[in-house]
């Protein structure tokens, strides 16, 4: 399993992903699920993935044109004219890879090889945009009605995002909110695990404002994780009391 | 879908369930999912159910012996010597009903007719006990290592239960905690809906201490629901701030 969130703010985009993959509880590994590419001053594009690791790694490898010699590679995401076109490229590639593998392995394999992705970024002269790509290759775009997308193990960490999100919030507050959402998910589901990858993209900067790998020793993560129980108990205490009669 | 929680405290048991059933989003109804029977001064037994409504109603009807004339009925739960025996009776009945229906309708029907249940109660001279019954008819019992069981749509409301639960808490605090857990689930999933049923069983009383149906107009539910967003934001504000560099 996996947990990734892409969030759209007035100031830009904040993205967080875990790094745990598992094939059974006795086969746990760490793999990066967040990738980004940039043309400094012109565009920055991020992809996060959930689902079958062979599928998602294949998508990333093909986006980077890795079946060619390094000098001959060109990344079509860096040449696409719009973020909509970027989302189409990723969606078509994802659907191709899933359906090719499924057709080689029978109908039941479609579920096994399935994956979904979040694509986010900005190209100069246009707004920052955020997309959720389905295994079928089609996609939806975030708006301020639905300003964040989650993929993977989404439920545990969703209520706090619903309650805590505010489009005008600072990057620091958004990172705090995401840290709590990830901590709640980590506590509830062993298939989501540290370290986490964090990327902050400021509007009209076309380069990462902040990039960080958060591991078990990370003092900020530890302090939020330990403070949150106390903060929640305090929040519960502050609610109106029930009276039995 | 459904959301039910059974919680074991030092003081006794607290149970809450929603009442929404749906067969598609255009076919939504309200049905009770919590039942209890008592022999005043001797025992009280509660059953909550999630899953196929025909299956769970059939279990309850057969427990109440409703295929006989009212004067000839006897409820075997009220004659079982122990809560372990009560859980066995419910588990066997549940498994029988699911497998009978599945065998009449082909193998794929087993999932369709599936259901799970929470059984809780106390019989005089013994401790209060809490069980989770699987569709296969077997069951597990709560202990203070795992002091609450959830069935149905369990994930949204789980993080707050993990953080807020304390075995020594008062019934009032437990109801407050459950109200928040249910509110988070209601906000995230349309297939869980008001009204809620609430039952409090005090240790060694063998009668409901408190029983209540919580509907949309319920002032306590409304005040918790509206206060919680504010309380969470306040809790988030109180956490250590992230620094971008």
Q: Is B8 helix (H, G, I), strand (E, B) or coil?
A: strand
Asked if residue B11 has a cis previous peptide bond (ω within 30° of 0), the answer is: no
CA distance A243 to chain B (A): 6
Q: How far apart are the first and last CA of chain B?
A: 45
| Residue A171 within any structural domain of the chain | no
Comparing CB atoms, the residue among A164, A185, A229 nearest residue B233 is: A164
Residues in B touching A188 (Cβ below 8 Å): 155, 158-159, 162
Residues 6+ apart with CB under 8 A from B115: B49, B50, B51, B52, B55, B56, B59, B94, B98, B135
Query: Of residues B105 and B70, which shows the higher confidence score?
Result: B70
Q: What is the DSSP letter of B168?
A: T
Q: Are strands A208-214 and B12-17 parallel, antiparallel or unpaired?
A: unpaired
What's the pLDDT band for B107 if we cut at 50, 70, 90?
A: low
Residue A240 has pLDDT above 70, yes or no: yes
Residue B142 has pLDDT above 70, yes or no: yes
| Span B223-236, average pLDDT | 93
| Residue B245 within any structural domain of the chain | no
Domain count, chain A: 1
| Residue A131 within any structural domain of the chain | yes
Domain housing B217: 3-238
Comparing CB atoms, the residue among A156, A179, A241 nearest residue B158 is: A156
3-state secondary structure chain A: CCEEEEEEECCEEEEEECCEEECCCCCEEECCCEEEEEECCCEEEEEEEEECHHHHHHHHHHHCCCCCCHHHCCCHHHCCCCHHHHHHHHHHHHHHHHHHHHHHHCCCHHHHCCEEEEEEEEECCCCCEEEEECCCCCEEECCCCCCEEEEECCCCCHHHHHHHCCCCCCHHHHHHHHHHHHHHHHHHCCCCCCCEEEEEEECCCCCEEEEEEECCCCHHHHHHHHHHHHHHHHHHHHCCCCCCC
Q: What is the DSSP letter of B78?
A: G
CB–CB contact A188 B159 (8 Å): yes
**pLDDT of res. A104:** 82
CB–CB contact A242 B220 (8 Å): yes
Residue B237 has pLDDT above 90, yes or no: yes
CB–CB contact A172 B236 (8 Å): no
Residues in B touching A163 (Cβ below 8 Å): 228-229, 232-233
Residue A134 has pLDDT above 80, yes or no: yes
Residue A143 has pLDDT above 90, yes or no: yes
CATH of the domain at B180: 3.60.20.10
**d(C-alpha B110, C-alpha B106), whole Å:** 8
Query: Of residues B67 and B151, which shows the higher confidence score?
Result: B151
Interface test with B, best of A16, A163, A225 (most B CBs within 10 A): A163
* Percentage of chain B modeled with pLDDT above 70: 99
Comparing CB atoms, the residue among B172, B227, B236 nearest residue A243 is: B172
B155 lies within 8 A of chain A by CB: yes
For A167-201, the pLDDT digits (tens) are 999 999 999 999 999 999 999 999 999 999 999 99
**pLDDT of res. A1:** 84
B176 lies within 8 A of chain A by CB: yes
Residues in A touching B234 (Cβ below 8 Å): 235, 238
CB–CB contact B176 A241 (8 Å): yes
Residues in A touching B209 (Cβ below 8 Å): 244
**pLDDT of res. B75:** 92
| Residue B53 within any structural domain of the chain | yes
**d(C-alpha A125, C-alpha B25), whole Å:** 42
Comparing CB atoms, the residue among B223, B224, B239 nearest residue A228 is: B239
For A39-97, the pLDDT digits (tens) are 999 999 999 999 999 999 999 999 999 888 999 998 999 999 999 999 999 999 999 99
Nearest chain B residue to A202, by CA: B244
Interface test with B, best of A235, A238, A241, A245 (most B CBs within 10 A): A235
CB–CB contact A234 B238 (8 Å): yes
Q: Is B116 helix (H, G, I), strand (E, B) or coil?
A: strand
CA distance A128 to chain B (A): 20
Asked if residue B195 has a cis previous peptide bond (ω within 30° of 0), the answer is: yes
Residues in A touching B229 (Cβ below 8 Å): 163
Residue B106 has pLDDT above 90, yes or no: no
3-state secondary structure A221-235: HHHHHHHHHHHHHHH
Distances (CA, A) of B154 to A1, A3, A5, B35: 17, 17, 21, 20
Comparing CB atoms, the residue among A158, A176, A241 nearest residue B172 is: A241
Interface test with B, best of A159, A177, A181, A196 (most B CBs within 10 A): A159
Which residues 185-244 of B are in CB contact (within 8 Å) with A? 185, 187-188, 200, 209-210, 220, 223-224, 227-229, 231-236, 238-244
Comparing CB atoms, the residue among A177, A239, A245 nearest residue B236 is: A177
Q: What ipTM was reported for this prediction? A: 0.89
| Residue A66 within any structural domain of the chain | yes
| Residue A162 within any structural domain of the chain | no
CA distance A44 to chain B (A): 19
**d(C-alpha B223, C-alpha B43), whole Å:** 35
For B44-71, the pLDDT digits (tens) are 999 999 999 999 999 999 999 988 898 9
| Residue B84 within any structural domain of the chain | yes
Task: Indicate the average pLDDT of chain B.
Answer: 94
| Residue A175 within any structural domain of the chain | no
Query: How many CB atoms neighbour CB B145 within 10 A?
Result: 5
Q: What is the DSSP letter of B155?
A: S
A170 lies within 8 A of chain B by CB: no
Query: Of residues B219 and A107, which shows the higher confidence score?
Result: B219
**d(C-alpha B67, C-alpha B232), whole Å:** 50
């Amino acid at each position: 399993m996996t947990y990734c969130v892409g969030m759209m703010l007035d100031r830009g985009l904040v993205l967080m992903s875990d790094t745990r993959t598992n094939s059974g509880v006795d086969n746990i590994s760490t793999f990066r699920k967040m990738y980004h590419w940039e043309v400094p001053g012109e565009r920055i594009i991020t992809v996060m993935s959930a689902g079958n690791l062979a599928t998602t790694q294949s998508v990333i490898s093909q986006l980077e044109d890795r079946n060619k010699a390094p000098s001959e590679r060109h990344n079509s995401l860096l040449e696409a004219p719009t973020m909509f076109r970027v989302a189409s490229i990723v969606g078509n590639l994802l659907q191709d890879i899933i359906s090719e593998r499924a057709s080689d392995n029978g109908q039941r394999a479609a579920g096994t090889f399935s994956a979904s992705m979040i694509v986010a970024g900005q190209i100069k002269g246009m707004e920052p945009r955020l997309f959720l790509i389905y295994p079928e290759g089609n996609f939806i775009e975030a708006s301020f009605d639905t300003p964040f997308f989650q993929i993977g193990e989404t439920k545990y960490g969703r209520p706090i995002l619903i309650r805590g999100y505010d489009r005008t919030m600072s990057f620091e507050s958004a990172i705090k909110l995401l840290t709590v959402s990830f901590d709640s998910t980590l506590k509830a589901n062993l298939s989501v695990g540290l370290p986490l990858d964090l990327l902050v993209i400021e509007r009209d900067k076309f380069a990462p404002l902040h990039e960080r790998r958060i591991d078990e020793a990370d003092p900020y993560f530890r302090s939020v994780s330990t403070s949150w129980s106390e903060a929640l108990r305090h929040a519960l205490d502050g609610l109106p009391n029930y009276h039995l009669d």
